[in-house]
Amino acid sequence: MYSTKKSIPVGVDFLYDDKRVRKSLPEAEQKRNGESKMAKTNGVINSNRTLGKINKEIYGHFSEHLGRCIYEGIFVGEDSEIPNTNGMRNDVVEALKNIKVPVLRWPGGCFADEYHWMDGIGPKEARKCMINTHWGGVVEDNSFGTHEFFELCDQLGCEPYINGNVGSGTVREMSEWIEYMTFDGESPMAKLREENGRKEPWKVKYFGVGNENWGCGGNMTPEFYGNMYRRYQTYCRNYGDNKLYKICCGPNADDFDWTDKVMSLITDQFADAISMHYYTVPGSWEEKGHALGFDEKRYYETIEATLRIEPMIERHLDIMSKYDPEHKVKLIVDEWGTWFDVEEGTNPGFLYQQNTMRDAMVAALNLNIFNRHCDRISMANIAQVVNVLQSVILTEGDKMIKTPTYYVYEMYKDHQEAQLVDCYLDCPEVTCEGFDIPLVSSSASVNEEGKMTITLANPHLTESLTVSAQILGNYNNCEATILTGKMDDHNDFENPDTVQLAAFDGASLNDGTLSVEMPAMSIVKVTLA
């Protein structure tokens, strides 16, 4: 929530002069006679003031050779009894197309820096097997490789985002992979591609030079990686009309020193964007808590933890601005989401976890944040698309379910490629189980047809909220959709529809004022036309 006003009204939550300003509702306004009182927030949403385009890639996804994400989750092979097209599960593809997946990152993650692409081309029976040392120590047969990934992207209608191997790979290996994928003409790699059944080159826009090179991608210092990046990206050539959008490995969470030192070594001459990873982890990495069966304190701890991403983003952007005052180098949050303890009885290296309304709320809060920073954030990729961490889809054999997080993406998809507009709301904040929680998160956009999409999230477990906003613009019709439930409500294979979208009659537009009666623990999408 942004404002250019010099005065700061009581209760407002917005950015001004790069500082977070928050004021809580007085205790008397929160409670009356020992009973909870419905909170209220007022504001203005100005469709005439645009703040930047929300790139569709902010709604991107991530697929790694990890657990059952690709194998079983997406790719079952052409001979599978599960309905498929060229090996890709039809049910999963159709579900992902419905939420308009704009970009898909592959092959990792940590796996990217031990992946050698030539092992994943040619006849499947002749491809080399390897041990996936990062994720479960299982055998990787490389039956899903470059050609299969582009087949998946073609079916989804999305942009491929390729992550190259810096940690254990060579400059030549990376250079030849790009030639194999994108060169149109006579060359050794183009000839090899044709021999493997593909004459025409693919279009590759997004290319990451390494992954988490501060950790699993080589345990490098920022100075070492920065110079390695300069070297490797030199040989990432643009062939024909294919122009690579080069992505430099950025920081882990609040590692501001990494951003500072890497940015000092790169400019827009060498990089189009720098990545950032942040996982929402309540507790500690050693004891993250379960995806199910958590209490209210752990819920609010999770919400507070996820909201920390915004001040981190702002500080990283400030550092980037020091070296790039024209903001040519963008920020990409290409791994984000919740990370809890794995489900009992599953391989600890597969990172399989259930998905609840808590995860949906985390997704809504983060996507609103990314929307509001769309002038600097060009992409975000939730981890991961199927069966791993905060997935939008879970599969079990031939069964498939959509998670609560999936429905957030379905609600928010109309933001893609729309113009962010000024959304100014008071933001009451309450203390819950020792954690400061804002009662509303929001973002608003207007598409080319003039339709406005407003997304609101109330993360409080018991406090309902009345939103009253003056709408500046010519709108007459109001429709709304809601996602709500108890904090641990989830969909499973016995009850796949416990959490789902519903039409919402608690939103109305009268004389230019939008009124939304938001229940506790709810996410609401309002469409104005």
Is residue 482 within 8 A of residue 502, CB to CB? The reply is: yes
Distance CA 58, CA 381 (A): 7
User: Strands 377-383 and 60-62: what pairing?
Assistant: parallel
- Bond preceding residue 384 cis, omega within 30 of 0: yes
Is residue 398 within 8 A of residue 90, CB to CB? The reply is: no
Residues 279-302 have pLDDT tens digits of: 999 989 999 999 999 999 999 999
> What's the whole-model pTM score?
0.92
Please give the pLDDT value at position 8. Answer: 23
Please give the pLDDT value at position 428. Answer: 78
Q: Return the number of other C-beta atoms located less than 10 Å from residue 4's C-beta.
A: 9
The region, left, alpha or beta by phi > 0 then psi within -120 to 50, assigned to residue 97 is: alpha
Distance CA 64, CA 210 (A): 14
Question: What tokens were used for 91?
Answer: 């049910």
Helix axes 357-372, 404-412, angle to 10 degrees: 30
Distance CA 148, CA 123 (A): 12
Dihedral pair phi/psi, residue 62, rounded to 5°:
-140, 125
Distance CA 186, CA 240 (A): 12
What sign does the dihedral 56-62-63-69 (CA atoms) show? negative
The three-state DSSP-derived secondary structure of 79-141 is CCCCCEECCEEHHHHHHHHHCCCCEEEECCCHHHHHCCHHHHCCCHHHCCCEEECCCCCEEEC
Is residue 291 within 8 A of residue 339, CB to CB? The reply is: no
Domain ranges in the chain with CATH number 3.20.20.80: 56-417
Q: Would you call 212 a catalytic residue per the annotation?
A: yes
Q: Which parts of the chain register pLDDT below 50?
A: 1-36
- What is 231-255 written as a DSSP string? HHHHT----TT---EEEE---BTT-
Please give the pLDDT value at position 268. Answer: 85
Question: What tokens were used for 305?
Answer: 């933890």
Distance CA 294, CA 280 (A): 15
Q: Cβ contacts of residue 377 below 8 Å, gap of 6+?
A: 55, 58, 313, 330, 331, 332, 333, 370
Residues 470-497 have pLDDT tens digits of: 999 999 999 999 999 999 999 999 999 9
Which numeric CATH code is attached to 14-53+420-528?
A: 2.60.40.1180
Please give the pLDDT value at position 39. Answer: 85
Dihedral pair phi/psi, residue 480, rounded to 5°:
-145, 150
Domain ranges in the chain with CATH number 2.60.40.1180: 14-53+420-528
Q: Would you call 335 a catalytic residue per the annotation?
A: yes
In terms of C-beta density within 10 A (0-12 exposed, 13-18 middle, 19 or more buried), how is residue 125 classed?
exposed
Distance CA 200, CA 431 (A): 58
Q: Cβ contacts of residue 60 below 8 Å, gap of 6+?
A: 101, 102, 103, 104, 105, 161, 334, 379, 380, 381, 382
Q: Return the number of other C-beta atoms located less than 10 Å from residue 79's C-beta.
A: 7
Is residue 150 within 8 A of residue 160, CB to CB? The reply is: yes
Residues pairing with 432 in the sheet: 435
Q: Hunting for tokens 């809504």 — which residue is that?
A: 364
Is residue 393 within 8 A of residue 92, CB to CB? The reply is: yes
Please give the pLDDT value at position 31. Answer: 35
Please give the pLDDT value at position 473. Answer: 93
Distance CA 39, CA 303 (A): 19
In terms of C-beta density within 10 A (0-12 exposed, 13-18 middle, 19 or more buried), how is residue 341 classed?
middle
Residues pairing with 103 in the sheet: 159
Per DSSP, helices labelled H in 235-279 are 256-263
| Catalytic residue (one of 148, 159, 176, 212) | 212
Nearest to 478 by CA among 511, 517, 518, 527: 527
| Catalytic residue (one of 140, 148, 301, 335) | 335
Please give the pLDDT value at position 420. Answer: 98
CATH architecture of the domain formed by 56-417: Alpha-Beta Barrel (3.20)
Distance CA 153, CA 161 (A): 10
- What is 404-456 written as a DSSP string? HHHHHHHHHGGGTTPEEEEEEEB--EEEETTEEEES-EEEEEE-TT--EEEEE
Three-class SS state of 319: helix
The region, left, alpha or beta by phi > 0 then psi within -120 to 50, assigned to residue 264 is: alpha
**Distance spanning both ends of the chain, measured CA to CA:** 22
